[in-house]
Amino acid sequence: MKVLIIDGQGGGLGRQLVAAVKERFPEIEVLAVGANSTATGAMLRAGADLAATGENAVLVASRRADVIMGPIGIVIADAMLGEITPVMAAAAGQSEAKRILLPVGQCDNIIAGVRDMPMAKMVQEAVELLAGWV
């Protein structure tokens, strides 16, 4: 199984996701793609098996992934202060992979009906959802 984790800005959420997935499922191949090199570096240091940066990396990796994880903004064009291009959002959103998206408020999108919780708790819930597909 191949899990793609996409993040931008400082890569903090992506770093937490990579670490949690690798801790729970060390056998899973985790590919980290950052919208910028800072995010990519953070995820690589957290234990990603492979890492790349930028629009084309999201496009290619989205075709190869079984599961895509990241903030909700990865499927919304111009989210994350413009780091997510329309091509990146379409690639992640149109992929045949399952998606586990975290409702992060910094993406300027509010999801009604979603309770507010600490990021660490959201990451753990995301990993539990992944367990259903492993």
Residue range 34-86, pLDDT digits in tens: 999 999 999 999 999 999 999 999 999 999 999 999 999 999 999 999 999 99
Per-residue pLDDT band for 21 (boundaries 50, 70, 90) equals very high
Closest CA to 43 of 127, 34, 22, 80: 34
Q: Spell out the residues 6+ positions from residue 71 whose beta carbon is closer than 8 angstroms to its own.
A: 7, 13, 79, 80, 101, 102, 103, 104, 106, 107
Q: Is the pLDDT of residue 29 over 90?
A: yes
The values of phi and psi at residue 116, to 5°, are -80, 135
Q: Model's pTM, two decimal places?
A: 0.94
Residues 6 or more apart whose Cβ sits within 8 Å of residue 134: 1, 25, 28
